[in-house]
Chains A and B, each alone.
Chain A
Amino acid sequence: EVQLVESGGGLVKPGGSLRLSCAASGFNFSNAWMSWVRQAPGEGLEWVGRIKSQTDGGTTDYAAPVKGRFTISRDDSKNTLYLQMNSLKTEDTALYYCTTLQRYGECRFWGQGTLVTVSS
């Protein structure tokens, strides 16, 4: 059974940093593309970014609102995905989901999400 468990969310002040983790199990993590998707309270789904498998180059891509501030990485030895968030803004307040990602954007499996609140 595929399991994705996010952690690391919390309350942070504007301008601060936070690192989210996503522990994966039940599938071959090292061969998987992964993504982060967020959802602000009462709002729709929004892409944060993606990371390819190491065999496909391990490269990352980011949505415009977070580019230059957020960094996605992975540790295949720990089956864990990370999201480093710097220079946080109040508009980054959202539930952050970790998902598996097919090449053309299908998110077949989702974690339960971890809540990030950016407020002074």
Chain B
Amino acid sequence: QSALTQPASVSGSPGQSITISCTGTSSDVGSYNLVAWYQQHPGKVPKFMIYEVSKRPSGVSNRFSGSKSGNTASLTISGLQAEDEADYYCCSYAGSSTFPYVFGTGTKVTVL
């Protein structure tokens, strides 16, 4: 069971929109609308940002949105702000695999 593939880094200027991809397989991302996203600032605990591909928990800014097409899920950050600079991880349900969940490799977002 391999980790989901994310770009190592994505950057953007304040106010811009960026998109982070998360590519899996037909056994995980492609089979279930059960992708979550986490934000982790340096030295901090991961924060739960998105679940079931596109739903936001209470308190998460609506600048964060999720989507999915085929085996690839995406996280879009609109109106990029300095505070969005962090690492982002996706996670997918993987059904009856060796272990039922799989994380992505992580993406470092830099605000230029």
Contacts and interface: CB of A to CB of B under 8 A. Distances in A.
Contact of B48 (A45, A63, A97, A108): A108
The contact size tier of chain A is 20 to 34
Contact of A46 (B32, B36, B93, B103): B103
Contacts of A109: 48
A106 B91 CA distance: 8
A47 B45 contact: no
Interface string A92-120: 00000100001011111111110000000
Interface stretch (B10-18, B77-85, B94-102): B94-102
A44 interface: yes
Contacts of B36: 105-107
B105 A44 contact: yes
A61 B105 CA distance: 21
A105 B46 contact: no
A64 B103 contact: no
Contacts of B1: 64
Contacts of A111: 45
B36 to A, nearest CB: 5
Contacts of B92: 105
B46 A63 contact: no
23 contacts: A44-B87, A44-B105, A45-B89, A45-B91, A47-B99, A49-B99, A50-B100, A50-B101, A61-B99, A62-B99, A102-B51, A104-B52, A104-B93, A105-B36, A105-B100, A106-B36, A106-B48, A106-B51, A107-B38, A107-B46, A107-B91, A111-B45, A112-B45
Interface of B: 1, 3, 32, 34, 36, 38, 40, 45-48, 51-52, 57, 87, 89, 91-93, 98-106
